[in-house]
């Protein structure tokens, strides 16, 4: 019996990178990944995404099947407008979309946080994350801005946030597994301070401080952060472990921040905070 499911999940950007102290914060952005899962026979599950390592999306399907005791095989496809390996949570969005699409195919439901944890487990299995990236996955799944304990896979805070967002996306790629974890872990005392700012709801200051210290730890340029602030951004940061940068911007300052970033090279994307979160059964969107 052929069963088909679809879903759409969204990207995210960083307020606090969780590598230093396992505490993280991120907000959803309006860039999406769509997934289609077709279960039509015995194992295995195969990925059908040209030129992309399919271990994460295949493992995401398998994790859901295992959760419900279903033995099946088929194909999983994804399409995304989230730049890959730039720190904009493409892996979290892919895992979330595939988990939800598999649930849709099975006619099953999971609590959103349990669905998120399922995708995080798949990401750990696939080796595409350092901490499990529960903060990124929760922001993608739930929308809005979240603060999390990634070690315990706990959501500490979630609220909606209205803001325009600018993203500076360099041409180079940096995969999470390439991160200098040792240098990043030295930031734990500073990360604790940033965590307190995020819990208090001071996301612009938290992300700016996060960006400055992680750029130093990861030997990446902080020039885009200063350029964004000079253009009137409320806050700016390296997103994840880079190389992309994100800025929270008032509508009247978008042009100035964009103009400040364009000479730095790379692509500037205009988007906004996504507050609605991921959607199961939303159709196969290209």
pLDDT digits (tens, 9 = 90+) for 114-172: 999 999 999 999 988 877 899 999 999 999 999 999 999 999 999 999 999 999 999 87
Map out the domains of the chain with their CATH numbers.
3-160 (3.30.230.10), 164-272 (3.30.70.890)
Say yes or no to pLDDT of 106 above 60: yes
pLDDT per residue over 258-277, tens digit each? 999 999 999 999 999 999 99
% of the chain at pLDDT higher than 70: 95
Q: How far apart are CA 116 and CA 220, in angstroms?
A: 30
Say yes or no to pLDDT of 174 above 80: no
Determine the pLDDT at residue 178.
56
pLDDT per residue over 218-250, tens digit each? 999 999 999 999 999 999 999 998 899 999 999
Q: In the structure, what pLDDT confidence band is assigned to residue 286 with cuts at 50, 70 and 90? A: very low
pLDDT per residue over 18-41, tens digit each? 999 999 999 999 999 999 999 999
pLDDT per residue over 81-105, tens digit each? 998 878 788 999 999 999 999 999 9
Determine the pLDDT at residue 151.
95
pLDDT per residue over 248-257, tens digit each? 999 999 999 9
Determine the pLDDT at residue 79.
93
Determine the pLDDT at residue 184.
82
Say yes or no to pLDDT of 56 above 50: yes
At residue 43, φ and ψ (nearest 5 deg) are -55, 155
Q: How far apart are CA 46 and CA 41, in angstroms?
A: 12
């Amino acid at each position: 019996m052929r069963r088909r499911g679809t879903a759409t999940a969204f990207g995210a950007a960083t307020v606090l990178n969780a590598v230093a102290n396992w505490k993280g914060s991120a907000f959803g952005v309006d860039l999406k990944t769509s997934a289609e899962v077709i279960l039509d026979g015995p194992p295995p599950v195969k990925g059908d995404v040209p030129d992309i390592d399919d271990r994460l999306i295949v493992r995401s399907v398998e994790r859901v099947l295992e959760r419900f005791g279903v033995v099946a095989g088929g194909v999983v496809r994804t399409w995304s407008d989230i730049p890959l390996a730039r720190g904009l949570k493409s892996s979290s969005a892919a895992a979330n979309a595939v988990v939800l699409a598999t649930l849709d195919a099975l006619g099953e439901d999971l609590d959103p946080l349990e669905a998120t944890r399922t995708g995080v487990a798949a990401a750990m299995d696939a080796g595409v994350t350092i901490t499990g990236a529960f903060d990124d996955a929760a922001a993608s799944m739930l929308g809005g801005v979240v603060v999390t304990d990634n070690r315990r896979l706990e959501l500490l805070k979630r609220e909606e946030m209205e803001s325009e967002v600018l993203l500076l996306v360099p041409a180079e790629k940096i995969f999470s597994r390439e991160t200098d974890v040792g240098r990043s872990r030295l930031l734990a005392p500073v990360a604790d301070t940033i965590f307190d700012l995020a819990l208090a709801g001071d996301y612009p200051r938290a992300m700016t401080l996060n960006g400055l210290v992680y750029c130093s730890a990861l030997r990446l340029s902080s020039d885009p952060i200063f350029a964004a602030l000079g253009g009137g951004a409320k806050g700016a940061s390296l997103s994840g472990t880079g190389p992309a940068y994100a800025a929270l911007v008032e509508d009247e300052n978008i042009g100035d921040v964009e103009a400040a970033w364009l000479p730095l090279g790379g692509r500037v994307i205009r988007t906004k905070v996504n507050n609605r979160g991921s959607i199961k059964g939303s159709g196969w969107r290209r």
